[in-house]
Amino acid sequence: MENIVIHGTYFTSKNVNEVEFHEDHLICIDRSGTITRTLSPVDAEYSQILNDARQAGRLIELKPNQYLLPGFIDLHVHAPQWPQAGLALELPLADWLNHYTFPLEAKFADSHYARRVYQDFVHQLLSHGTTTAMMFGTIHNDANVELARQSVTQGLRAFVGQVVMDNPEQTPDYYRNQSSVSALHATEQFIKEIFELAKKTSSTVVPVITPRFVPSCTDEALTGLGQLAKQYDLPVQSHLSESNWEHGYAIKRFGIHDTAVMDHFHLLTEKSVMAHGTQLTSDDLTTLRQRGTTIAHCPISNVYFGNGVLAVKKLLAYGNSVRLGSDISGGYSPSLYHNIRQAIKSSQMLTDGVDSSLATATRGVKDSRITMANAFYLATVGGAKALQLKVGKIAPGFQADFQIVNGHQPLMKLSIADVFQRLMYQTEQQDIQSVYVAGKRVYERE
């Protein structure tokens, strides 16, 4: 029996290359927040279900020029960096970390500050159409639990990581785990607290094993985190081959690429999400593919720190799992719309090349352009697959995580395919009318 029925036009990924459009449909959702069925106007029961829902006050009717889309899945976000989004992006990664990011994250020792930031940040994610996020916290247990609580309270599906960074050579005195033992102890404590929180809610809240990246962790911490990931069967998140500097660091310290380092410590599994990957080689990609590990493509951030463009189309063709992340605040925008657009723009620049003094034929990497349908898939059902969640698609059996978006005024006749393109290119925060997770409204524009 349906609890609510939505009436309107929706867009959803059919597969990585195709988007489905369904006009004037009904989407039926049961009490558990699961989509039970969708009906087209030619279905025999359509009118009956529409009328019954209307009379019972269970109908959500989209207005003309409103559209239903799945909520987005952001696979790489640093929640504590929200206050500095848009700052210092002209610096190289290591300077940005040392002069801006570490001092800011150190402030989360203060749980009151953490609450203030996380309350706003979770709201921002929802109001940008993001319904699931895989997030880095800081090294502070209480602040991370606060992030998880805020997510549960506001209705965001949350994967939250207690950051580990214990290497004295690559982290400052004021912001470091005192030892690998204390870092691992704090991680295990955090896991238990999140499990307790998860028991008290029907919402999704999952602890994530979070070695910040190879430079910031000792071998002992990486060993212990690999063991904890296995013991508790948890997802892992980190940064991988993000920049020339970071990629070179692992080679200097271990004599191998950071992919091989992570693999050595059992941190690459089918539940792992590794951000960036602009410097990955074909051997690294083979390892990631064999482990089933996802690469979180962070196209805005990569412009600043990546020292290259991730070849998304090639990676997808190889069979690597590539999805999307905002990387707040290496990326300045929490909007996955903005990141979808940048993913397409960066891929076009990769195809064409950027140095016009070179011959056209040799300037770029041919056939690298991704389509809007590709990018939409990465941000929706693709991201959900990486987290093993049944969300990101408007179809029976999926959780009802949606956004209702107001289209801009059409001043010429548009096909439904045109409407989709325009929505993806033009939607801003103020165009998102409401957001639902598991059939419950979690955000409404005032």
Give the CB-nearest residue to ligand GUN: 330
176 part of the interface to ligand GUN, by CB under 6 A: no
Helix (H, G, I), strand (E, B) or coil at 231: helix
Rg (CA), the chain: 22
d(CA 100, CA 364): 34
The only residue of 13, 84, 101, 427 in contact with ligand GUN, by rule CB under 6 A: 101
- CA-nearest of 309, 305, 386, 375 to 338 is 375
Residue number with CB closer to ligand GUN (33 or 137): 137
149 part of the interface to ligand GUN, by CB under 6 A: no
The only residue of 213, 377, 402, 443 in contact with ligand GUN, by rule CB under 6 A: 213
* CB contact at 8 A, 66 and 407: yes
* CB contact at 8 A, 228 and 191: yes
89 part of the interface to ligand GUN, by CB under 6 A: no
The only residue of 212, 297, 369, 393 in contact with ligand GUN, by rule CB under 6 A: 212
339 part of the interface to ligand GUN, by CB under 6 A: no
Measured from the CB of residue 183, what is the shortest distance to ligand GUN in angstroms? Answer: 15
Task: Return the residues of window 350-389 that contact ligand GUN according to CB under 6 A.
Answer: none
301 part of the interface to ligand GUN, by CB under 6 A: yes
22 part of the interface to ligand GUN, by CB under 6 A: no
130 part of the interface to ligand GUN, by CB under 6 A: no
The number of CA neighbours under 13 Å toward the Cβ of 17 is: 4
Question: Residues in contact with ligand GUN, total (CB under 6 A)?
Answer: 12
151 part of the interface to ligand GUN, by CB under 6 A: no
Strand partners, 12: 20
d(CA 79, CA 105): 10
Burial class (CB in 10 A: 0-12, 13-18, 19+), 37: middle
Q: 373 is written with which tokens?
A: 């349908």
Question: For 105, phi and psi rounded to 5 degrees?
Answer: -65, -30
Which residue type sits at 354? V
Peptide bond before 329: cis, by omega within 30 degrees of 0? Answer: yes
Measured from the CB of residue 257, what is the shortest distance to ligand GUN in angstroms? Answer: 16
166 part of the interface to ligand GUN, by CB under 6 A: no
Residue number with CB closer to ligand GUN (7 or 176): 176
Measured from the CB of residue 97, what is the shortest distance to ligand GUN in angstroms? Answer: 6
330 part of the interface to ligand GUN, by CB under 6 A: yes
Question: For 343, phi and psi rounded to 5 degrees?
Answer: -60, -40
Residue number with CB closer to ligand GUN (13 or 171): 171
Residue number with CB closer to ligand GUN (146 or 327): 327
Helix (H, G, I), strand (E, B) or coil at 207: strand
97 part of the interface to ligand GUN, by CB under 6 A: yes
Q: 416 is written with which tokens?
A: 């439904």
Residue number with CB closer to ligand GUN (84 or 132): 84
Task: Return the residues of window 236-265 that contact ligand GUN according to CB under 6 A.
Answer: 239, 242
d(CA 274, CA 239): 5
Q: 196 is written with which tokens?
A: 């307790």
Mark the segment that binds ligand GUN (CB under 6 A) among 93-101, 170-178, 187-195, 350-358: 93-101
25 part of the interface to ligand GUN, by CB under 6 A: no
Question: Site residues (CB under 6 A) for ligand GUN?
Answer: 78, 93, 97, 101, 212-213, 239, 242, 301, 305, 327, 330
